[in-house]
């Protein structure tokens, strides 16, 4: 049983102190270096909140306006700080409201610990007031979860939770604590977890595989690197840059890999995938070697697997053995932490420049520029484009802002056109595609990096899914810059309806409220832009603001995001119009 | 996945004995719409370590992916897959039959004798037969007995040990170091 196993693994010799379970929870958080957590109180978690009140000098609780907001804020915090984000909620509806954020964190490998209150243990399974089987519900979307019914288990479970959340391929962990366990007193001592018997978070890098990879790389005539978030999670930005520069290989990124090396880097050839750049998508099916680093061949990246890079040999650098050959069969798999693997790879690499191969990327970029990018960034038509808003933000922030996006057209545009010159600058919901992610995630991001400019970019649809978090921004005085690109549509769905459903715009047109009035209702400075002439000045005003600022930009209603790979098509069949 | 490539694979999973793990493991099969043919869990040869034996009808490419997903679970120590030639296995069947048939139908006595089945208990109303062996043998016995009327019938999941050694103990030692 859980308790027995946990007990046998936790051999603590530290001096103890008799405290309640709820105080123990807070003390565990402090021991783990948590100084901020996001949550929402309720009946079954009240003892812990009472302790948080006592410890508010050491740990800052952020009252979000919805538990979903708490998870997304914790995610934003984690993504930019590299630390574990913490969210807390009560039982029943409080706990179930965390699920979207947990699922999002699971698929995007975000370290997060969620703590939920639970009804008293004698009521478990009785359909008690605000009881849900949150351990059962969260099982498929957590890296690990556990229910605590005895106070004495708290330190060991909490230590294990933090260790599992942040080690190896990170992920969300949920700890559910019955109310009686929160009240119960026990002898508290804390020891951090450094090892779980059945869990091997970082597989050992096999030097033979590294050499095999190096041989393939050195022999390749047309190699292409596709990197993912593994580079950022592994803190391997330096090693990665060195590998790219020494090997001279064009490197493209997945949406979550963005910013590991700057946009302006000459070997950075752009984004792959459904709305990625033309050149890396087309040339994926022409390269002779595909080097995947810390990415998982998501279907939004690969398009049709039956044609994806079939001509190429594939090297896969990956921390999670279950990702090897899951979607794309690799010729050489190098398991392990990206930092270590790339560090070991570097000395075996020959210096190369691949000039002719690079020219192909440049030629295709020119085609994309002429057909798409030029019109997006320097439109000649009257309506504002989403891309020109990003262009202004790039100028005013010098490409140093952390861009937190929601999900939809604006997200793809932001990823395509934002300058990411600092690592961890693209905070977005990649795998789950969670509308409503952006605004609360930006709060967490700003709190993790108060010195950085954090710009939240949403569409009018996703923004309204968590619009209540404006209240959190106001109460916390979080100086987030909130931009809504308003086209009065659920734009991405509308684009699909236009292209694949004969323009039958079923339930995608939105009649929107007065967004400025709503922001002002929360005492947030706000402005609306409808004309191109006002844009630069409005963005400048926003970026200069020391406080939170809301900017609504009314953009072209029926603008599409191109390039685009239709679902199920080959990456090389990417459409420019 | 073409049906021709599918075969019965036995999955052996060594795990910590934790609440909720069965849920995590069964969810891996559920998500991929893979029907579990049989499932057995029990303590293993190592103290505190449980063993799952799961039988599924699947192709080799997919069983490898499933094994990867299973091993990814924090509390799973190691997972293996084997085809039926690589293991020694047994299943057990229990048959509840009216006692009068034991005396009135001499054929039933012959079935018991020839099949090496065992009478577990007998009372006035019914007797219980137990038969261990391969699935086909249990099914064959069911077919033979069913014409006389079976009051209750149940069959266990497959339990298996491998012909090859599975070095779990040394693996656990290496994890501990």
The answer to whether residue A501 is domain-embedded is yes
pLDDT for A510 beyond 90 = yes
- Determine, yes or no, domain membership for A559: no
With respect to residue A408, please indicate whether it lies within any of the assigned structural domains.
Answer: yes
Q: What is the mean pLDDT of residues B9-35?
A: 94
Same domain, A468 and A531: yes
Contact (CB<8Å) A135/B20: yes
Confidence class for position A3, pLDDT limits 50, 70, 90: very low
Residues A410 and A534 grouped into a single domain: yes
Only one residue has tokens 């795998």, namely A431
Residue A267 located in a structural domain:
yes
Residue of A nearest to B176 (CA): A197
Per-residue pLDDT tens for A193-235? Answer: 999 999 999 999 999 999 999 999 999 999 999 999 999 999 9
Q: Best residue in A322, A323, A333, A335 to probe B by mutation, most B CBs within 10 Å?
A: A322
In a domain, A372, yes or no: no
**Which CATH number covers residue A105?**
3.40.50.970
B168 contacts in chain A (CB < 8 Å): none
Specify whether A404 is located in the same domain as A550: yes
Instruction: Name the closest residue on chain B to residue A321, using Cα atoms.
Output: B68
What is the value of ipTM here, to two decimals? 0.90
Chain A residues within an 8 Å CB radius of B17: 1, 4-5
Name residue A173's beta-bridge partners. A113, A144
pLDDT for the residue B121: 96
Q: Which residues of B touch A326 (CB under 8 A)?
A: 65, 68
* Averaged pLDDT, B87-113: 93
Query: Is it the case that residue B22 has pLDDT exceeding 90?
Result: yes
Q: Are residues A347 and A388 in the same domain?
A: no
Q: Is A386 a catalytic residue?
A: no
CATH number at residue A330: 3.40.50.1220
Active site residue A492: yes
Residue B84 pairs in a beta bridge with: none
Q: How confident is the model over A135-183, as pLDDT tens digits?
A: 999 999 999 999 999 999 999 999 999 999 999 999 999 999 999 999 9
The domain in which residue A223 lies consists of 207-360
User: Is there a contact between A140 and B65 if contact means CB atoms under 8 Å apart?
Assistant: no
Size of the A and B interface in Cβ pairs below 8 Å: 62
- The mean per-residue pLDDT over the stretch A375-388 comes to 96
State whether A127 and A227 are in the same domain: no
Phi and psi at B106, nearest 5°, equal: -55, -25
With beta carbons under 8 A apart, name residues in chain B contacting A147: 19-20
A288-316 tens-digit pLDDT: 999 999 999 999 999 999 999 999 999 99
Please say which residue of A129, A155, A188 terminates a domain: A188
Angle among Cα A335, A337, A339 to the nearest 5 degrees reads 125
- Chain A nearest-CA distance from B111, in A, is 43
The answer to whether A193 touches A162, Cβ cutoff 8 Å, is yes
A173 inside domain = yes
| Window 177-216 of A, Cβ < 8 Å to B | 196-200
Per the annotation, the verdict on A1 as an active-site residue is no
- Mean of the pLDDT values across residues B92-116? 92
Domains located in chain B, CATH noted: 3-87+160-176 (3.30.70.260), 89-159 (3.30.70.1150)
Each residue's pLDDT tens digit, B120-158: 999 999 999 999 999 999 999 999 999 999 999 999 999
Q: Do B72 and A322 touch (CB under 8 A)?
A: yes
CB B84 within 8 A of CB B110: no
Are A345 and A452 in the same domain? no
Any domain includes A560: no
Residue A480 covered by a domain: yes
Q: The sheet that has A268-271: what strands, in order across it?
A: A268-271, A251-253, A223-227, A289-293, A313-318, A332-335
Point out the residue among B20, B68, B74 whose CB comes nearest to the CB of A198: B74
Q: Span A253-272, mean pLDDT?
A: 98
Q: How many CB atoms lie within 10 A of CB A232?
A: 25
| Contacts A324 to B, Cβ<8 Å | 68
Number of domains observed in the structure of chain A: 3
Indicate yes or no: CB of B65 within 8 angstroms of CB of A2.
no
Q: Are residues A549 and A430 in the same domain?
A: yes
* Domain termination residue (choose one: A188, A222, A247): A188
| Mean pLDDT on A314-326 | 98
By Cβ distance, the residue of B68, B172, B175 closest to A322 is: B68
Same domain, A418 and A446: yes
A184 and A149 share one domain? yes
- Give the predicted TM-score (pTM) of the model: 0.95
Judgement on whether residues A294 and A326 belong to the same structural domain of the protein: yes
Who wins on pLDDT, A121 or B105?
A121
A221 assigned to active site: no
Closest residue in A to B174 (Cα) is: A197
Residue B75 zone, left/alpha/beta (φ > 0; ψ -120 to 50; rest): alpha
Same domain for A320 and A221, yes or no, is yes
Q: Cα–Cα distance between B11 and B55 in angstroms, integer?
A: 6
pLDDT digit string, tens, across residues A394-449: 999 999 999 999 999 999 999 999 999 999 999 999 999 999 999 999 999 999 99
Predicted confidence (pLDDT) per residue in A26-56, tens digit: 999 999 999 999 999 999 999 999 999 999 9
Which of A360, A394, A418 lies at the terminal end of a domain, its last residue?
Answer: A360
Mean pLDDT in residue range A99-108? 98
- Spatial CA neighbour of A200 closest among B28, B46, B71: B71
A129 is catalytic: yes
Pair (A356, A238) in one structural domain:
yes
- Sequence-distant (6+) residues with CB within 8 A of A139 are A145, B20, B23, B24, B27
Nearest Cα to Cα of residue B122 among B114, B132, B135, B112: B112
**Å between A73 CA and nearest CA of chain B:** 26
The catalytic residue among A32, A51, A67, A343 is A67
């Amino acid at each position: 049983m859980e308790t027995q196993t946990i007990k046998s693994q936790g051999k603590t010799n530290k001096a103890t102190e008799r405290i309640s379970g709820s105080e123990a929870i807070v003390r565990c958080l402090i021991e783990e270096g948590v100084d901020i957590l996001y949550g929402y109180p309720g009946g079954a978690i009240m003892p812990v909140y009472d302790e948080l009140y006592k410890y508010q000098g050491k740990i800052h609780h952020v009252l979000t306006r919805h538990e979903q907001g708490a998870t997304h804020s914790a995610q934003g915090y984690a993504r930019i700080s590299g630390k574990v984000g913490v969210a807390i909620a009560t039982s029943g509806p409080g706990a179930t409201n965390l699920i979207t954020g947990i699922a999002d964190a699971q698929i995007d490998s975000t370290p997060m610990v969620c703590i939920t209150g639970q009804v008293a243990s004698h009521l478990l399974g009785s359909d008690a007031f605000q009881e849900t089987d949150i351990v059962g519900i969260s099982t498929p979307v957590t890296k690990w979860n556990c229910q605590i019914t005895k106070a004495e288990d708290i330190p060991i479970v909490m230590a294990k939770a933090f260790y599992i959340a942040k080690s190896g391929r990170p992920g969300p962990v949920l700890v559910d604590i019955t109310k009686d366990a929160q009240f119960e007193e026990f002898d508290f001592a804390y020891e951090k977890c450094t090892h779980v018997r059945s869990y091997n978070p970082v597989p050992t890098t096999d030097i033979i595989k590294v050499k095999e990879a190096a041989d393939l790389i050195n022999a390749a005539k047309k190699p292409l690197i596709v990197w993912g978030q593994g580079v950022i999670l592994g803190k391997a930005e330096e090693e990665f840059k060195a590998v790219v520069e020494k090997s001279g290989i064009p490197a493209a990124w997945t949406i979550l890999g963005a910013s590991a090396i700057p946009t302006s880097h000459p070997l950075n050839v752009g984004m792959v995938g459904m709305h990625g750049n033309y050149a890396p998508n087309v040339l994926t099916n022409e390269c002779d070697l595909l080097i995947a680093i810390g990415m998982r061949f998501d279907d939004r990246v690969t398009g049709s697997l039956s044609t994806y890079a079939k001509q190429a040999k594939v090297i896969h650098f990956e921390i999670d053995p279950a990702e090897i050959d899951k979607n794309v069969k690799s010729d050489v798999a190098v398991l392990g932490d990206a930092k270590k693997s790339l560090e070991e790879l570097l000395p075996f690499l020959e210096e190369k420049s691949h000039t002719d191969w690079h020219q192909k990327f440049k030629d295709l970029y020119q085609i994309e520029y002429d057909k798409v990018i030029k019109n997006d960034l320097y439109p000649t038509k009257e309506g504002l484009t989403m891309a020109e808003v990003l262009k202004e933000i790039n100028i005013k922030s010098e490409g140093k802002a952390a861009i937190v996006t929601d999900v939809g057209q604006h997200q793809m545009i932001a990823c395509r056109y934002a300058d990411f010159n600092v690592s961890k600058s693209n905070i977005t919901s990649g795998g789950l595609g969670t509308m409503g992610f952006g605004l609360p995630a930006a709060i967490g991001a700003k709190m993790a990096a108060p010195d950085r400019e954090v710009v939240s970019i949403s569409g009018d649809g996703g923004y309204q899914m968590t619009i209540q978090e404006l209240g959190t921004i106001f109460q916390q005085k979080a100086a987030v810059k909130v931009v809504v690109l308003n086209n009065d549509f659920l734009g991405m769905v509308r684009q699909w309806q236009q292209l694949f459903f004969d323009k039958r715009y079923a339930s995608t047109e939105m009649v929107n409220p007065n967004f400025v009035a709503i922001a002002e209702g929360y005492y947030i400075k706000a402005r609306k832009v409808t004309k191109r002439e006002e844009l630069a000045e409005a963005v400048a005003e926003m970026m200069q603001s020391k406080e939170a600022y809301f900017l609504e930009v009314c953009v072209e209603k029926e603008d599409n995001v191109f390039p685009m790979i239709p679902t199920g098509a080959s990456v090389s069949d990417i459409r420019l119009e | 996945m073409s049906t021709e490539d599918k075969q019965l694979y036995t999955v052996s999973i060594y795990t910590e004995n934790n609440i909720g793990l069965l849920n995590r493991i069964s969810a891996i099969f559920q998500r991929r719409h893979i029907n579990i043919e049989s499932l057995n869990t029990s303590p293993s040869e190592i103290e505190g370590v449980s063993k799952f034996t799961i039988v599924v009808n699947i192709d080799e490419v997919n069983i490898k992916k499933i094994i990867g997903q299973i091993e990814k679970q924090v509390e799973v120590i190691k997972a293996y897959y084997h085809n039926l030639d690589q293991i020694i296995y047994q299943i057990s069947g229990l048959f509840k039959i009216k006692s009068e048939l034991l005396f009135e139908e001499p054929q039933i006595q012959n079935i018991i004798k020839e099949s090496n089945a065992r009478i577990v208990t007998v009372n006035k109303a019914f007797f219980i037969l137990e038969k261990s062996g391969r699935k086909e043998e249990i099914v064959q016995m069911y077919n033979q007995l069913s014409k006389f009327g079976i009051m209750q019938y149940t069959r266990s999941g497959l339990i298996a040990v491998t012909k090859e050694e599975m070095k779990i103990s040394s693996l656990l030692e290496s994890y501990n170091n």
